[in-house]
Amino acid sequence: MTSGETLFSRAKFPDGTMRTLTVSAGRIAAITVGEVVAKDGQQVVDLGGLLILPGFVEGHIHLDTSFFGGKWISHKPCTNGFDVHERVAFQHQNMAIAEPMDVRARKQLELCIANGATAMRSHVMVDGSVGLKSLETILKVRDEYRDRIDIQLVAFPQSGILKSPGTSDLMDQAIGLGADLVGGLDPASFDRDIEGHLNVVFGIAEKRGVDVDIHLHDAGTLGVFTIEQICDRAVALGMQGRVAVSHAYGLGDVQQDMAKRTADRLAKSGVSIMTNAPGAHNFPPIALLRSAGVTVFSGSDNIRDSWWPYGDGDMLGRATMIGYRSGFYTDQELEAAFDIVTSAGATALRLEGYGLVEGAKADFVVLDAEHVPEAVVSAPKSRAVYKAGKLVARNGKLV
Ligand SMILES: [Zn+2]
């Protein structure tokens, strides 16, 4: 039975070998070194000896709040240093003048797909102010793009849980509606009640059997203390490998010995860390975390939104930034930056069938680079993106 199969020939694998992928029903059925003679009914796609990479994992984005592709909305600085409450207030003002959410979400999704993302985790605001409206919109958009990208949605309490009446019930309903994970936001500085906040988050996770991904901007030892509480909860509920802390800025503020101790605790608890290597901000020590065995993954986070004007949806470019900010120079370090936007992301998101291996989904990116380290530093924009063996984007445009 060969009908419907496609041979992707002359694919240069990251180890330099030229191979042929046999793709059947959206999966990699076989990987063969060298050329394979096509049988009757098999289509052949010549990849021209370009480098083949697994699809990129956009592990943290906000599909509901970006203004990308719409009119420019100038960034408004906080009046007295960075303040999450004030930024959330600015976001509400900006959302009122931006294009409809579904239009903005599609533009942002297409940007990410065109850059090579084949899987994504998006946080979507669920709180007393917007209720479940944003989630309902993003669920529809997710469905429209289901053949082009796999999307996990996090019920994200942008206005806090205890501070925003009704939010805990809404987050629970969000899971019933189709959200895949339960989120959280700065339990200490936002709700001023770590225990209360985490009781709700992990209560819903336990009841609904879903994973957890918590935004944690809190600095220094407060951030580290909160991470310890999250680790304890993950262990107590047997949720190792199913909990993530996004940003975890505090890990970048504290002394190395404390960061090391916390890294060991994260590794033991199976709690992963998401960082987008943010601009002028301390961020987690990636090499230290990885060497302790912590899964570190990444995402664009905000793209042209109320938080900052940057972001281009390019996870390979994000690997460049991660490497640049971390002082990664050797091939091994550059490969680590790449791992963060690919395999480690797949581990954190618990993606089924990921990677350039037999049996995996045929999700891959093809571009012109000698190998992974060169791809990370050059991040060539010319690339072809395949989802389930079908070309979905070429040179920055969806096909
Ligand atoms: Zn975020």
* pLDDT one-digit tens code per residue, 254-308: 999 999 999 999 999 999 999 999 988 899 999 999 999 999 999 999 999 999 9
Spacing of C-alpha 315 from chain mean position: 9
For the stretch 94-145, pLDDT in tens is 988 999 999 999 999 999 999 999 999 999 999 988 999 999 999 999 999 9
User: If you measure from the C-alpha of residue 1 to the centroid of ligand 1, how many angstroms do you get, rounded to a whole number?
Assistant: 46
User: Residue 3 has what pLDDT?
Assistant: 61
Q: What is the pLDDT of residues 182-200, one digit of tens each?
A: 999 999 999 999 999 999 9
* Mean pLDDT of the chain, nearest integer: 96
Q: How far is the CA of 115 from the centre of ligand 1 (A)?
A: 20
Rounded distance between C-alpha atoms, residue 297 and residue 272, angstroms:
7
Cα of 214 from ligand 1 centre, angstroms? 9
| Tokens of residue 70, six digits | 């719409």
**pTM for this entry:** 0.97
Ligand 1 centre from 191 Cα, in Å? 17
Q: Which of 139, 141, 77 is nearest to 112 (CA)?
A: 141
Is residue 22 scored above 90 in pLDDT?
Answer: yes
Query: Distance from the CA of 60 to the center of ligand 1, in angstroms?
Result: 6
Q: What is the pLDDT of residues 346-388, one digit of tens each?
A: 999 999 999 999 999 999 999 999 999 999 999 999 999 999 9
DSSP string, 29-78: EEEEES--PPPTT-EEEE-TT-EEEEPEEEEEE-TTT--TTS--------
Statement: residue 398 has pLDDT above 80: yes
Q: How far is the CA of 185 from the centre of ligand 1 (A)?
A: 9
C-alpha 279 to ligand 1 mean position (Å): 14
Q: Coil, strand, or helix at residue 152?
A: strand
Tell me the CA–centroid distance for residue 14 and ligand 1, in Å.
Answer: 31
Contact 191, 160 (CB under 8 A): yes
Tokens of 315: 């996870």
CB 149 within 8 A of CB 117: yes
Q: Are 80 and 112 in contact (CB under 8 A)?
A: no
Sign of the four-CA dihedral 159, 162, 166, 168: positive
Q: Report the alpha-carbon distance of residue 43 to residue 100 in Å, rounded.
A: 41
Q: Calculate how far, in angstroms, residue 38's C-alpha sits from the geometric centre of ligand 1.
A: 46
The DSSP letter of residue 111 is H
Residue 357's nearest CA partner among 2, 29, 71 is 29
Distance 190 CA to ligand 1 centre (A): 15
Q: Which of 331, 199, 223 is nearest to 275 (CA)?
A: 223
Kindly give the distance from the C-alpha atom of residue 301 to the centroid of ligand 1, in angstroms, as a whole number. 5
Nearest to 326 by CA among 338, 315, 314: 338
Please name each of the domains of the chain with its CATH number.
Answer: 6-54+354-398 (2.30.40.10), 56-348 (3.20.20.140)
| pLDDT score of 399 more than 90 | yes
Question: Which pLDDT score, from 0 to 100, does residue 85 have?
Answer: 83
Q: Which of 211, 279, 264, 218 has its CA nearest to residue 240?
A: 211
Output the CA 299–ligand 1 centroid distance in Å. 9
Helix or strand or coil: residue 301?
Answer: strand
Residue 246 Cα to ligand 1 midpoint, Å, equals 7
- Report the C-alpha gap between 33 and 183 in whole angstroms: 44
CB 305 within 8 A of CB 67: yes
> Which residue do the tokens 């994504």 mark?
120
pLDDT at 1 (0 to 100): 46
